[in-house]
Copies of this chain bind each other. A is one copy, B any other.
Amino acid sequence: MQANGTLLFPAINVNDSVTKSKFDNLYGCRHSLPDGLMRATDVMIAGKIAVVCGYGDVDKGCAGALKQAGARVIATEIDPICALQALMEGIPVLTLEDVVSEADIFVTTTGNKNLIMIHHMKQMKNNAIVCNIGHFDNEIDVHGLETYPGVKRITIKPQTDRWVFPETNNSIIVLAEGRLMNLGCATGHPSFVMSCSFTNQVIAQLELWKERGTGKYEKKVYVLPKHLDEKVAALHLGKLGAKLTKLTPAQAAYISVPVDGPYKPPQYRY
């Protein structure tokens, strides 16, 4: 809309705030992926082979949680940088085809479509678990599954379905019908990390309202100014008992930042 000139008012894209994308996506999923798996299936994660499709922020949280619970995690990636990050954490990067018949748990996390297709599902081990914590229910080919000739759906409980393939009598367990499993099978992210996300939204609205007459924001999409992103974080430190160090004026001058921040250039990656 901005590119087309059809944006009617200034907007702030809080999804790209550090205190959203690097917190909610990462630490939220690190919590709610195992939560969803446990509530839906009670499966022992330790010892299992888990495939995480993608190694972005969401995936880093998911892969970390599964690894720490004792699973052997394998990542699939299209992006060589994210792939190299996975490798540096001891996570092999392979294609879904390489591992589809060996893994016990499959998680899609990409925001893309057509990750796990019906031809993959047919090759999986009996009772392999298939779920999505990325975006929409097109990461997993649920349509292909539903329309597969002779397939039988057995609902174990709401949001947990066993699908039996007629040729092999093998099943796969699909969570939340391919929709977000942490919402479908658990209660989503915990409130502390969502508070970071929602504080972003509130602070962005306050900022837009405060500056509504000053012309600071044109009819464009902005990211939240860095000092407000830092404010979101600062508001959450007290609950966890943290104490920040204060820069001296000499130190602030030495690294060319204001004493009260913002402390990092816009492109800093955290």
A residues adjacent to B (C-beta < 8 A):
16, 18-19, 21-23, 27, 30-31, 34-35, 38-39, 42-49, 57, 65, 67-73, 76-85, 87-96, 98, 102, 111-114, 186-187, 190-193, 196, 223, 229-231, 233-234, 236-237, 239-248, 250-251, 254-255, 261, 263-264, 266-267, 269-270
Contact = CB atoms under 8 A, between A and B. Distances in A.
Nearest to A254: B113
A95 B73 CA distance: 20
Contact of A234 (B65, B80, B113): B80
A239 B169 CA distance: 18
Nearest to A68: B68
Contacts of A242: 83-84, 87, 92-94
Nearest to A98: B243
A68 B16 CA distance: 26
A88 B237 CA distance: 11
Contact of A266 (B69, B102, B236, B267): B267
A89 B111 contact: no
B246 A78 contact: yes
A254 B76 CA distance: 18
Contacts of A71: 90
B76 A245 contact: yes
A82 B267 contact: no
A112 B240 contact: no
Contacts of A79: 230, 261, 263-264
Given A90-B71, A243-B93, A44 B19 contact: no
Contact of A270 (B82, B191, B193): B82
A170 to B, nearest CB: 15
Given A87-B237, A241-B92, A267-B16, A251 B113 contact: yes
- Closest 4 A/B residue pairs (Cβ): A44-B190, A68-B68, A80-B233, A44-B192
A244 B80 contact: yes
Contacts of A234: 80
